[in-house]
Amino acid sequence: MAKNSKIEWTHHTFNPWWGCVKLSPACKHCYAETWARRVGQQVWGIRAPRRFFSDDHWNAPKIWEKEAQTEGLRRRVFCASMADVFEDRRELDVWRERLWALIAQTPHLDWLLLTKRPEKIAGLTPWGKSWPENVWLGTTAETQKWANDRIPALVKNPAKVLFLSCEPLLGPLDLNPWIETKINWVIAGGESGGKSRPTDPQWVRQLRDQCVNHKVPFHFKQWGNWAPINEAAERKRIKMLASGETLVRVNKKDAGRSLDGRTWDGSPIA
């Protein structure tokens, strides 16, 4: 849990627990697992326990709620950066119930629930066809296969905002079956870390163009550690992609988040 999250598209992050099981190519270099191990928490995998938290941790969003109410603002809470809220394990049910209650107690916070398990959402939420106004629901689409599998499951749920996290973007995506009528926001980004895989800038441009064409807000979060050669500050390692694009390996900060000379900070609510 953290206040003032470093994630560009949210204000806070909240984790109802730590721990998960890897599921798809986007999970390969899961930073949350790496971070958990670094701080001595063995909470990844089917047999590993999960890490749970005290009342102090659970009270933090109530403080954020009071601040948002006082300031007359809405604040976004990303849930969860160290877990998947819809991991289907019975010992998590009681913590999920606590999360749903917390969401109800914090109407000035917009809760961004991002999952790689959208097929589990309907069975693990209490809201049926009447979702609270302060829940935004997203799924990860890193390749077309995972977009095809996950987006139809996502869009069955009547959340106020439905969003896609295309990060790390690992292939070209055609969102046309869903983008015009069902998706309210698209976030994209490359991968960072020692073994990061390159994201072809053409895949990012295709996503951006689909969003622009359908007037869907587009947020480009980062290149990660592989940036287009003309966007990067320092040349170290170069990779030629099949598309003809050339990327340079740099640190994440130097790679930045500019696409074709500008940043993309689209958001469903101005």
Where does this chain bind ligand SF4 (CB under 6 A)? 20, 22-23, 26-27, 30, 32-33, 83-84, 116
Cα 186 to chain center, whole Å? 10
Q: How far is the CB of 48 from ligand SF4 (least distance, A)?
A: 12
Q: Would you say 70 and 27 are in contact if contact means Cβ atoms under 8 Å apart?
A: no
Pair 184, 217: CB distance under 8 Å: yes
- 20/216 with CB nearer ligand SF4: 20
Whichever of 23 and 241 has its CB closer to ligand SF4, that residue is 23
Minimum CB separation of residue 132 from ligand SF4 in Å reads 23
| Residue 43 structure tokens | 């909470």
Compute the least distance from the CB of residue 83 to ligand SF4, in Å. 6
- Closer to ligand SF4 by CB, 189 or 201: give it: 189
Q: How far is the CB of 44 from ligand SF4 (least distance, A)?
A: 7
Instruction: Give the nearer residue to ligand SF4 in terms of CB position, either 85 or 259.
Output: 85
Nearer to ligand SF4, 20 or 248 (CB): 20
96 phi/psi in degrees, rounded to 5: -65, -45
State how far Cα 16 lies from the chain centre. 16
**Nearest partner of 268 among 178, 161, 123, judged by Cα:** 161
Q: Which residue, 24 or 206, has its beta carbon nearer to ligand SF4?
A: 24
Shortest approach of ligand SF4 to residue 160 CB, angstroms?
Answer: 23
Sheet holding 246-249, edge to edge: 226-228, 246-249, 237-240
Q: How far apart are CA 140 and CA 97, in angstroms?
A: 23
C-beta of 67: minimal distance to ligand SF4 in Å? 28
The neighbour count for residue 182, using CB atoms within 10 Å, is: 15
Q: Considering beta carbons, is residue 29 or 74 the nearer one to ligand SF4? A: 29
CB of 116 to ligand SF4, least distance (A): 4
At residue 144, what are phi and psi to the nearest 5 degrees? -65, -40
Nearest to 79 by CA among 56, 40, 106: 106
Q: At 103, phi and psi to the nearest 5?
A: -60, -40
